[in-house]
Structure formats: C-alpha cells, structure tokens
Structure 1
C-alpha cells in the first residue's frame, strides 16, 4: 500500500510538472476585432501543451479599437501587468495586427516579464497603403492625402493615425506622431532609455508576415522594414532604428533573440487560424 501511494504521488507530481511546464500565453486582438479572434489558436495550444494558461485581452473591441494608441497601451498594459504578477516565471505574448503595436507599446513602457513576443502580421514600422481598414477610417482620402488628417490633433486621436507613416512627409510624421515615432525613437522621447531597457527584457522577438497579406502595407513592415521616399523597401538591418539600436532591435538580434518568418499564401485575417502558421512558426517558440 505504501508503494502504491508513493507511485500515485509520483505520477501526480509528474502530471503537475508537465501541466505547468509551459509559460502562460497572452493574446491581443487586431483592429475592429475582439477577443474571440484567439479561440482557434488557443484550442491548438491547449491540445499540444495541455494545461497552458491562456489569457486574451477583452478590451478595445470592435470600434473601440480606433481609440488613441497610447490610451490603449496604458490600459491594456495595466491589465497585462496584473496577469504577469500572477505568473512571475514569465509569459509569452502573441499579438495580431494593430494589437502587435499595442503590445510593443506595453513592452517598452512597462517593466514586464514577457519571455517571447510573437508579432503576428503587425505593422511595426507603420502603415502606408489603401486598405479596407484605412478606407473605413478615412473614407474620403486616398493614400497620399491621409497625412493631412493623420498628422493633425484630430488624426492622432485615431489609432490608425498613430501609426500612419508617410515616407513622403517624414518631417510631419516626426513632428506630429504621438505613438509610432515615439516608440521608434524617431522623435524626442525623454523616456527613451527606459523604453529601450524595458524592450530588452524580452528574450525573443518573433516577427511573422508575408507578401500575400493584403492589408499591412508594405507587408515588410511586419518585419521592421519599410519604404524610403521613392517607395523602395529598406530592410530591417538598414533601418536607422536598427543600425543605431534606437530601442533595442540590434542588441536583441546580437544576442540571438530576433527571428523573422516570411510566409507566403496567407491573407491578413487568416494568420491566427492557419494551422501551418501555428504549427511551424508559433508553437516552436512557446516551449
């Protein structure tokens, strides 16, 4: 009987150890969406990693996602920090589209314990292109005229305006952008050292995107590349925020923490529900 009890306790210990072996996962949804965006992804994670704690941000859903990005970062960050305090051994972060920028804002502005940040088709270098989302926000403007509203007080109260990055009007972008230019240290930021130190608390940054996305423009923005003034793509390692290590990308890369995944054939709204993307490019980073 004593041996039976010992064996039962041992099996219970192993089960609990395996159950709690994987870091909790936080998901942040994209623009004009809601927390249900994570359902399929979380189902797969729990099948492959039983017992994983998952948490999806139920804030700034649908039209509320158009609220100023700094406000979103502040409020979402407070909720994330409470969750992180409950899991002091660290968490993983999966953030889709605009949600990836909200999450990067949190990573720079809060003293977090995120191990791996998976940026899933997120315009990390900004957006410059006519898409259904942009037309929804600025219905009467073509791409080359969006800056007239985006770089105004009213435009900076709208999320898309906060990361609109017009390569033809960089002076106005640097002067008026209250979010992306600040995160990238493209403009004066008195907290830049703190932002960089917080960002470098990350162990890994995984950037996922592809040429068939159809929404993120240029799609290479999901990999921290972007247009120059002639609309040629300047790759991540030739961008000043990398070469000057303005918020920690180069430092993270040098210590082996930067991963770029280019995946063709995936449309924008399918990234979080395409099994091959999950199995080959997300799951390996959750262990």
Structure 2
C-alpha cells in the first residue's frame, strides 16, 4: 500500500510539474505560433524569401506552427495585392484569418518584413484578439517613406509606375485607395496634407486624433523589436525603420524616435514602452532585408521561444 501510495504521489507531482512547465514556457513545451507578413513585391511562399525564413524558424524551433500570410487566392494575387490592395482592407482580411485560426487563439508572435512590419503593427493596434505577444519589424517603415530609390528594382515597370504616381499626387483619394505605397507616403514638407489625407499611416500613428484602444493594444506587446539595415538603399529615410523620420518642414535632417512628437506626446505609448524596456532596437549590416542565417538565429530566434 505504501509503495502504491508513493507511486501515486510521484505521478501527481510529475503531472503538476509537466503542466507548470508548459505554463512557464519550459523548453519541452512547444514554442508559441508565429505569423509572418512579407514585404512589397513578395509573396507568402517564395522559396527564396518567406519560404526560406519559415524553414529557418522551423529548423531552430521544432514543432512550431508558422503561418506565412497570403493575401489573395494564390501567390500571383499575393504579389499584386502588395502593390494595389488597400492596406486597411488587407489588415481587415488578416485580422479575420487570425481570428479563425484555432492554433493562434492562445497568442502568437509576429514578424513583418519591410511594409509587412507596419501592417502587422496595425493588426496589433486594431485587432487585440488573438493576442500578439512579440512584434518584430524587419526593415519596416514605421514612420513611412518619402522616396522609393529602389522599389525593389530599377528595372521594374511597376516601380516606375509607382514613382510617377506618388510624385504626381500621393494624397489624392484615388491614389490613396488603390496604391499601397501611397498609404504610407509621408511628406515632411507638407505635414498638414499628409495628416489630413493619409488613410492608413496617419491613422495608425495617431496623427489626427488619439484612439486610446490603439495605444492600449500596442502597449500590451511584450516586446516591439525594430531591425534597421545600416546600408539600406530602398527605405528613405532609413531611420523610419527605428521609428525616426525627417524633422518636420524639410527632407534633409532626420531625428530619432525620441525626438519626434509621437514620442514626446506619447500618442502611441512608445515612450512608456521604451521606459519599460519593451522597445528593442537592432541594427545589421547589409542592404534592405539582407539577413544572414547566423544573425537571424542569434538576434531574432530568442524572441520566438
């Protein structure tokens, strides 16, 4: 009887330890799910980009569930939509996808590449359920862009069209509704025009009014990680990847996040998050989205465990 009683106690103890280990994130428990959103001109499943990232994550974190977002019915539509589908519609579609996925309901981590970084931030702000735990913005233009020097290649006829359209009238209603890049075009010389007519970026950056739910939802993140590429030739200005931008009224001098009104007025909660150690600023050599495996494993994987 005594032995039987001891065995029963041991079994209960192990069961309790097992359950506690899962709650505390013990190495034996599966890592949180991961949601990935690709950048401009890319797709969910390109084996040379997002497909490779998915494999790298799965290699380092066995058993992880990775959802690489596809906006459209196939990869071709996914690429086209990265240029021409209204961003607010894209965010709404993604929120619906996440809400319906049973594997994400206990929370998930998120990595956004280039414009996918700011789009996922919009998801965090607008759609708190299921909950986003850590947000990693890899080259994301959090304060927008004022120029597309390479988009993503000089020979692309789509990029030529985008440049001409943005220069002709980025803030017209038609362009704002139909051209993704116009929706995060941020003209520092015409700040009033930008604030009044930007249908996406000015909204999520709280530049017209403060939506307290946006602020509360963003502050719920455990970590907001921003990766800047030191030799980036696509994002203009590069400091936008760390939430900095041009000083208002000109397009030469840039200021870091901490000197922007978004921070000093704490319209998004970034100042409070910074003081709490929730903002992480990482930098890496290379051009836009040029990451090597070693750097990715050392600096990104730890936030996904």
Flag whether TM exceeds 0.5 (same fold).
Answer: yes
Match of 2:176 in 1: 156
Contiguous gaps of at least 5 residues in structure 1: none
1:86 matches 2:103: yes
2: distance between equivalents of 1:119 and 1:244?
23
Query: Per the alignment, do residues 219 and 53 of structure 1 end up closer, same or farther by CA in structure 2, a change over 3 Å counting?
Result: same
Q: What's the offset of the Cα at 1:277? A: 3.0
Give the alignment's Cα RMSD to 1 decimal: 2.6
Asked if 1:38 corresponds to 2:25, the answer is no
Does 1:208 pair with 2:227? yes
- 1-side partners of 2:170 and 2:217: how far apart? 28
Asked whether the 8 Å contact 1:210–1:220 carries over to 2, the reply is: no
Indicate the residue corresponding to 1:74 in structure 2: 92
Instruction: Summarize the alignment of residues 204-283 of structure 1 with structure 2, pairs less than 5 Å apart.
Output: 204-228=223-247, 229-230=249-250, 231-264=252-285, 266-271=286-291, 274-283=292-301
CA contact (8 A) 1:22 1:286 kept: yes
Q: Matched residues in 2 for 1:132 and 1:48: separation?
A: 32
Tell me how many residue pairs correspond in the alignment.
273
1:270 CA displacement: 2.4
Relative distance call for 1:239 and 1:18 in structure 2 (3 A) is same
Give the distance between the partners of 1:164 and 1:44, measured in 2 at CA: 32
TM-score, normalised via structure 2 length = 0.81
Task: Give yes or no for contact 2:114–2:289 (8 Å, CA) kept in 1.
Answer: no
What residue ranges of structure 2 are gaps of 5+ in the alignment? 1-6, 73-77
Cα offset for 1:147? 5.1
Could you tell which deviates more after superposition, 205-214 or 134-143? 134-143
Partner of 1:131: 149
Within 2, Cα distance between the matches of 1:142 and 1:46?
A: 37
Cα distance in 2 for residues equivalent to 1:213 and 1:32:
17
* Contact 2:183–2:200 under 8 Å retained in 1: yes
In 1, Cα distance between equivalents of 2:27 and 2:297: 20
Instruction: Identify the residue that residue 26 of structure 1 maps to in structure 2.
Output: 35
Secondary structure of the residue aligned to 2:151 is helix
